[in-house]
Structure 1
Amino acid sequence: GIYLANSLLSDFNGPNEKSFQVAYGLNMAEYGVPGLKFNIYQARGWGIDGTHYTGNKGVAGKGYDGVQEQDGEHHYEYGIGATYAVQSGPFKATTIRGTYTAHRASEFQSDGSINEFRLVTTIPFNIL
């Protein structure tokens, strides 16, 4: 997998791409609500240029199809989320996280435009 600091819905790793991300997190424990956290971010990528790519097109013509058409492509993404971790009781350390993310892209940027809402619950348990 790709492990970039700004890897979100998009990896922001197009040919010759430049990118940046701004994020803010707020831990509500400091305000008397332990276990509740909020976060917001925005990431931008620009200068995507695959016009000089001369390699093969990958396996069976897939993989890098369309990269040559990427000339000056750009995209951005923003998201907002909240997480709550149960502090005590039989479900202690169970977390519920809700995140809304939107990605907008220029015509030939490969990730396209998308809206996504995720609701994730993690319930820890002991097997032994």
Structure 2
Amino acid sequence: MRILLWPQDNLTHWPQGRHHTFSFRYVNPYCDPHAAWQKGGIERSHEYIRVVLPKGRSFDQLTQEKVTRLMNNINSERRDSLNGHSPFELSILLLPNALHRALGLLPIPPDEVNLSSSLFN
């Protein structure tokens, strides 16, 4: 089965027509921009992104390597809402290994997670 991955909240900086194709099933519901109540847990990730990249800072200098490093740090942060587990730990149980490899998903040890503006320094 072929599926397309799109950003969760229809971000305007996502290039038109850009998507990723994988050979497994993934459901990604559309969310209206500026409708936080439709996004559920994604808002916590947005908060972490804004700690590392404060509002007003340009995303133009972000490389794929930096985005992947940020994503891995965010997904390795343990959350009370996940019973003390990280999103990465749950993804190991729920997602195919091929997706982890394709997206460069790697765990960051809990004592090395960096969700501060110094992540890219």
TM superposition score category, shorter chain reference: under 0.3
User: Greater strand percent: which structure?
Assistant: 1
TM-score (norm 2): 0.26
TM-score (norm 1): 0.25
RCO (CA 8 Å, sep 6+): is it higher in 1 or 2? 2
